[in-house]
A = this chain, B = another copy of it.
């Protein structure tokens, strides 16, 4: 009697399905079942389906987070080879790491196909040096009237070592929540007004990035006071706060990239 065990594939889709790797495509074309995480970031499901040429099942946040990936683990234990396709890199979200750990506990082999992640691509696509990456934070909406000051403190910490801060903005595909750069700046400036530590002034250099990997993507560099007035359509959006003393090559690269991709509408 043999004991059938499946295999788990955590597959990164990168910035968009066109940016998934040859290896990712190969895996998605050969596994038994494909689940897609559509809630941690935006994925063009139609484009993904067209590229892979197979049926895909979006997985719900509740199935992965509250039920600890139970639907996937059951299939794995029944001997299926199951892929979980994830926008960006598959091991950035803790919930996917937890699934890997749980599979390992049960003796189920797992594979990882890395993908292009917004960290540190937000920096390199801004023209900034990745060696100067600082701690990363997510800007979230106030909850029950409570304003989360954490990203402000992270910027302040990174500033003290002249590092760049990549800020992820709250996103929940299921709830239709996608914070814009404009909203993020408003939240950060509210913290600045309260704290008054001069971390974020209107003169501060920032880069707004939106819809990376999709047609019509936007990369706009400028002073905070100018960027705060931009109206950028595409999601997901990201905000990079440039280190206090950028290198001259960084300034030139920011200008070159921004003059090419700063589409506003």
Residues of A within 8 A of B (CB): 12, 14-15, 17-23, 25, 51, 89-92, 94, 97-98, 100-101, 104, 109-110, 112-117, 119-121, 124-125, 127, 129-138, 157, 161, 163, 213, 249, 252-253, 256-257, 259-260
With A19-B21, A21-B20, A259-B104 known to touch, is A97 a contact of B249 (CB < 8 Å)?
yes
Q: What residues of B have a CB within 8 angstroms of the CB of A25 in the complex?
A: 22
Q: Of B90, B94, B120, B259, which contacts A129 at CB under 8 A?
A: B94
Q: CA A119 – CA B89 in complex, angstroms?
A: 12
Given contacts A18-B21, A94-B129, A112-B257, 19 further A-B contacts (CB under 8 A): A18-B23, A19-B114, A89-B121, A91-B130, A97-B127, A97-B253, A100-B253, A100-B256, A112-B125, A114-B116, A114-B124, A117-B120, A117-B121, A131-B135, A131-B136, A133-B135, A133-B136, A135-B163, A157-B161
- One complex includes copies of this chain to the number of 2
A104–chain B nearest beta-carbon distance, Å: 4
With A18-B23, A100-B253, A100-B256 known to touch, is A137 a contact of B131 (CB < 8 Å)?
yes
With A18-B23, A121-B114 known to touch, is A101 a contact of B249 (CB < 8 Å)?
yes
Q: CA A138 – CA B21 in complex, angstroms?
A: 27
Q: What residues of B have a CB within 8 angstroms of the CB of A17 in the complex?
A: 22
Q: Of B97, B125, B132, B249, which contacts A135 at CB under 8 A?
A: B132
A101 and B135 contacting across the interface, CB-CB below 8 Å: no
With A100-B256, A116-B114 known to touch, is A124 a contact of B91 (CB < 8 Å)?
yes
With A19-B114, A120-B119, A132-B135 known to touch, is A249 a contact of B94 (CB < 8 Å)?
yes
A23–chain B nearest beta-carbon distance, Å: 5
A73–chain B nearest beta-carbon distance, Å: 14
Q: What residues of B have a CB within 8 angstroms of the CB of A127 in the complex?
A: 91, 97
The 9 closest A-B pairs by CB, nearest first: A104-B256, A91-B124, A19-B21, A18-B23, A101-B252, A131-B136, A114-B116, A97-B253, A114-B121
